[in-house]
Amino acid sequence: MGHLLLALLLASASMPRAQAVWLGRLDPKQLLGPWYVLAVASRERGFAVEKDVRDIEGVVVTLTPGNSLKVLSSRRGLEGCNQNVVELLKRDSGWVFENPALGVLEYRVLGTNFRDYAIIFTQLEFGDEAFNTVELYSRSETASQEALGLFSKWSEGLGFLSQQ
Does residue 96 fall inside a structural domain? Answer: yes
Does residue 51 fall inside a structural domain? Answer: yes
Cβ contact 135:164 at 8 Å: no
Does residue 47 fall inside a structural domain? Answer: yes
- pLDDT for res 3: 33
50 pLDDT more than 60: no
Question: pLDDT tens digits, residue range 95-133?
Answer: 789 999 999 999 999 988 878 999 999 999 988 889 999
Does residue 69 fall inside a structural domain? Answer: yes
35: domain CATH number is: 2.40.128.20
Question: pLDDT tens digits, residue range 78-92?
Answer: 777 889 999 999 887
**How many domains does the chain contain in total?**
1
Q: What predicted TM-score, i.e. pTM, was given to this entire model?
A: 0.75
Strand runs labelled E in the chain: 33-42, 55-63, 69-77, 80-90, 97-99, 104-112, 117-126, 129-138
**Which structural domain range is residue 153 located in?**
17-157
